[in-house]
């Protein structure tokens, strides 16, 4: 497969000839080198996207839709091969990697269906003097910056609607997982995406690359998924050119279990909400608020389920949780757990690094965690479930909302009226009621507060990549 930059429909080395080393987090082995883009390469990529976008925007929506649908087909035809790349460079178990490819491809199928349905409106002005025509042209060139936890899906969730709406795109995949992105580039070309419309430029120098991409005159939008800290920097830099932005940032999800919940279902939901994709998701349950009447049962059952998780190399049969992305992630989690234990939390299961090569931490459940302690304030991004006991619903909701993050929350109760009422009081863009998985290309993904701006997926996802133009017309 290609390991060069994809610019202007061609594969080429970075201007400075530098390479990025890619490693397998399960073994620490060096598995590939890919080209690294310089600021000049970023400028060339934006220019190529600009030139191609003008033609693409004038292409019939049906034709654009058919190209998107072909990408979906090709990704599914290559599901095993793409999943293998994800396991190699990201480490998640093969079943999760295959799931990620169908999730990622689905953004192309979903948006292929949305392209022909981008609607405008026409109204008569209240004075009766003219018509108000509103329509939605593409924004132009979109800069997309993605994280390593979903090497395919975090690209396609942005790329498919951006292309569907008629934009050109420049992508910076993460240095940890560039291989999946580059392989998707090959499939895009095979599907008939015009040369230059999508440019893929991994880089060792993200900050200089971003400056160059933002400063290109044709760039009109930035779409980013990653931490709130990095998102804030990109927002500030994007403000220099008053760029449109969509930001999908950090989470700190509360997972609430009421006394009337079906505890087995709550544990099952907790395992999905916590452990999906090796617990490295921004949607991961980060703080478990469990009612005092059921906390002993929930803790024991969750600890048993976490203790049974098969941890290992994502290639191995039966593995349910892979390595963390690198040793720094393990160090961060170990620090948070040690700090919580020193402050009085008890370890119900796990609680340490795994003694094997690679970046592994044991699935861990902590009971009696003090509300407000550091582990409840940080996005853990690993297999640790801190449990906080509550008795009063109002107090618990206050604790659940006592964070700058507002991406997602989970509520488990047999009383649906209570589930919905509590959902409405949780300050988060997405809520799972008696469900540990909510992500769906057909639903609006995104956060409140510092968890982000804008929505991805659903019907509104494609409009994020459009402008609104109003034409006052007299006839």
Q: Which residues are catalytic?
A: 248, 282
Tokens of 329: 């992630």
Number of residue whose CB is nearest ligand SIN: 439
Sheet holding 364-367, edge to edge: 346-349, 364-367, 384-390, 285-291, 253-257, 408-412, 430-433
Question: Residue 282 CA to chain centroid, in angstroms?
Answer: 7
> At closest approach, how far in Å is the CB of 385 from ligand SIN?
17
β-pairing, 121-124 with 131-135? antiparallel
Q: Between residues 243 and 282, which has the closer beta carbon with respect to ligand SIN?
A: 282
Stretch that binds ligand SIN, among 55-63, 134-142, 260-268, 279-287 (CB under 6 A): 279-287
Stretch that binds ligand SIN, among 229-237, 280-288, 339-347, 366-374 (CB under 6 A): 280-288
> At closest approach, how far in Å is the CB of 452 from ligand SIN?
10
Does 281 participate in binding ligand SIN (rule CB under 6 A)? yes
- Tell me how far apart the alpha carbons of residues 95 and 102 are, in angstroms, rounded to a whole number: 11
β-pairing, 285-291 with 384-390? parallel
Question: How far is residue 219 from each of residues 212, 237, 276, 278, measured CA to CA in Å?
Answer: 10, 13, 35, 35
The binder of ligand SIN chosen from 282, 305, 319, 362 (CB under 6 A): 282
CB 142 within 8 A of CB 168: yes
Stretch that binds ligand SIN, among 15-23, 46-54, 276-284, 351-359 (CB under 6 A): 276-284
Does 225 participate in binding ligand SIN (rule CB under 6 A)? yes
Question: How far is residue 149 from each of residues 29, 86, 100, 177, 184, measured CA to CA in Å?
Answer: 19, 10, 10, 9, 16
Q: Which residues contact 87 (CB under 8 A, 6 or more apart)?
A: 93, 94, 97, 314, 315, 322
Q: Between residues 148 and 288, which has the closer beta carbon with respect to ligand SIN?
A: 148
Does 47 participate in binding ligand SIN (rule CB under 6 A)? no
Q: Between residues 294 and 333, which has the closer beta carbon with respect to ligand SIN?
A: 333
Dihedral angle sign, alpha carbons of residues 203, 81, 24, 383: positive
Tokens of 12: 């080429």
CB 75 within 8 A of CB 187: yes
The binder of ligand SIN chosen from 283, 286, 403, 450 (CB under 6 A): 283
Does 246 participate in binding ligand SIN (rule CB under 6 A)? no
Range 336-395, binding ligand SIN (CB under 6 A): none
- Name residue, tokens 């593409």: 138
Stretch that binds ligand SIN, among 52-60, 278-286, 339-347, 350-358 (CB under 6 A): 278-286
Write out the E strands in 407-447: 408-412, 430-433
> At closest approach, how far in Å is the CB of 303 from ligand SIN?
25
Question: Mask 123-152, x = binds ligand SIN (CB under 6 A)?
Answer: --------------------------xx--
Q: Between residues 32 and 426, which has the closer beta carbon with respect to ligand SIN?
A: 426
> At closest approach, how far in Å is the CB of 408 from ligand SIN?
9
Q: Between residues 152 and 294, which has the closer beta carbon with respect to ligand SIN?
A: 152
Question: How far is residue 269 from each of residues 321, 363, 425, 436, measured CA to CA in Å?
Answer: 16, 16, 21, 4
Q: Between residues 205 and 280, which has the closer beta carbon with respect to ligand SIN?
A: 280
> At closest approach, how far in Å is the CB of 321 from ligand SIN?
16
Does 439 participate in binding ligand SIN (rule CB under 6 A)? yes
Q: Between residues 359 and 439, which has the closer beta carbon with respect to ligand SIN?
A: 439
Query: In the complex, which residues of this chain contact ligand SIN (CB under 6 A)?
Result: 149-150, 154, 225, 281-283, 439
């Amino acid at each position: 497969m290609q390991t060069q930059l994809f610019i202007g429909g061609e594969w080429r080395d970075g201007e400075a000839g530098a390479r990025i080393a890619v490693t397998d987090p399960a073994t620490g082995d060096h598995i590939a080198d890919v080209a690294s883009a310089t600021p000049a390469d970023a400028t060339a990529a934006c220019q190529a996207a600009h030139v191609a976008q003008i033609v693409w925007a004038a292409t019939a929506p049906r034709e654009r839709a058919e190209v998107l649908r072909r990408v979906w087909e090709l990704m599914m035809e290559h599901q095993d091969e793409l999943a293998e790349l994800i396991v190699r460079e990201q480490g998640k178990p093969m079943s999760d990697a295959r799931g990620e490819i169908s999730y990622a491809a689905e953004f192309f199928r979903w948006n292929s269906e949305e392209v022909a349905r981008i609607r405008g409106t026409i109204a008569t002005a209240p004075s009766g003097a003219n018509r108000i025509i509103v329509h939605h042209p593409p924004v132009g060139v979109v800069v997309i910056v993605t994280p390593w936890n979903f090497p395919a899906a975090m690209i396609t969730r942005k790329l498919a609607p951006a292309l569907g709406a008629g934009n050109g795109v420049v992508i910076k995949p993460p240095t940890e997982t560039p291989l999946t992105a580059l392989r998707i580039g090959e499939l895009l070309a095979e599907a008939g995406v015009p040369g230059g419309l999508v440019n893929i430029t991994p880089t060792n120098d993200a900050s200089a690359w971003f400056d160059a991409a933002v400063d290109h005159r044709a760039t009109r939008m930035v779409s980013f998924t990653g931490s709130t800290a990095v998102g804030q920097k990109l927002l500030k830099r994007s403000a220099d050119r008053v760029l449109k932005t969509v930001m999908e940032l950090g989470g700190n999800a509360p997972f609430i279990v009421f006394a009337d919940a079906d505890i087995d279902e709550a544990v099952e939901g907790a395992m999905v909400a916590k452990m999906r994709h090796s617990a490295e998701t921004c949607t991961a349950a980060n703080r478990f608020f469990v009612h005092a009447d059921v906390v002993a049962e929930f803790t024991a059952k969750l600890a048993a389920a976490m203790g049974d998780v098969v941890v290992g190399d994502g290639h191995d049969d039966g593995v349910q949780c892979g390595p963390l992305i690198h040793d720094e992630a393990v160090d961060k989690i170990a620090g948070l757990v040690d700090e919580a234990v020193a402050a009085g939390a008890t370890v119900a299961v796990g609680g340490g690094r795994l003694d094997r090569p690679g970046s592994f931490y044991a699935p861990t459940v902590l009971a009696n965690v003090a509300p407000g302690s550091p582990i409840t304030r940080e996005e853990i991004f690993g297999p640790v479930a801190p449990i906080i006991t509550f008795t009063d619903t109002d107090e618990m909701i206050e604790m659940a909302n006592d964070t700058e993050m507002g991406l997602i929350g989970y509520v488990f109760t047999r009383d649906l009226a209570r589930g919905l009422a509590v959902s409405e009081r949780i300050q988060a863009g997405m809520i799972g009621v008696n469900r540990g998985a909510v992500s769906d290309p057909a639903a609006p993904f995104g956060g409140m507060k510092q968890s982000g701006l804008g929505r991805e997926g659903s019907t509104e996802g494609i409009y994020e990549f459009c402008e609104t133009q109003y034409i006052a017309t007299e006839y």
